[in-house]
């Protein structure tokens, strides 16, 4: 009688793992289009199923290989783009009309041009000083 009980318990356990794993995968699929950790739920369901089913282990191994290949590709692309100037002499990641385009003036947080203005000056070119818009230079309260 004992082997029959063990066999029944084994099949019952596999049935529970199957149901819970499939529920996790289904919830992950729903979370792919709604807010939530969809990929994590799908991977968790596959990991749970792979403890009892060979087909789930093969699928999980395939997913892991694909993830490792994608991670390697991202690292390869990131490393290549962070090494310096692009082959055409420009800077990668900045468009031709970006703030650091040739001849563009970049201003510091003090409001003075970074090129050509005297240090500590915050005055615009030409020597004239203007208050910031919306503020009275004579008032002491903000």
Tens of pLDDT, residues 47-87: 999 999 999 999 999 999 999 999 999 999 988 655 555 55
What value does the mean pLDDT of the chain take? 76
In the predicted model, what is the mean pLDDT of residues 103-123?
52
Q: Six-digit token pair at 76?
A: 């390869």
What are the tens digits of pLDDT across the range 122-142?
555 555 555 556 555 565 665
Give the residue with greater pLDDT, 122 vs 8: 8
**132-133-137-141 Cα dihedral, nearest 10 degrees:** -110
Q: Global pTM?
A: 0.51
């Amino acid at each position: 009688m004992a082997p029959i009980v063990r066999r029944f318990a084994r099949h019952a356990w596999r049935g529970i793992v199957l149901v819970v794993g499939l529920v996790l995968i289904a919830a992950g699929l729903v979370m792919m289009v709604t807010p939530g950790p969809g990929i994590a739920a799908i991977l968790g369901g596959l990991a749970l199923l792979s403890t009892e089913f060979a087909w789930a282990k093969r699928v999980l191994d395939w997913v892991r290989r694909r993830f490792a290949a994608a991670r390697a590709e991202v690292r390869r692309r990131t490393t290549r783009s962070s090494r310096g100037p692009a082959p055409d002499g420009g800077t990668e990641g900045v468009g031709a009309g970006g703030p650091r385009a040739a001849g563009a003036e970049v201003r510091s947080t003090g409001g003075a041009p970074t090129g050509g203005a005297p240090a500590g000056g915050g005055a615009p070119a030409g020597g004239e000083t203007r208050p910031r818009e919306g503020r009275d230079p004579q008032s002491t309260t903000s």
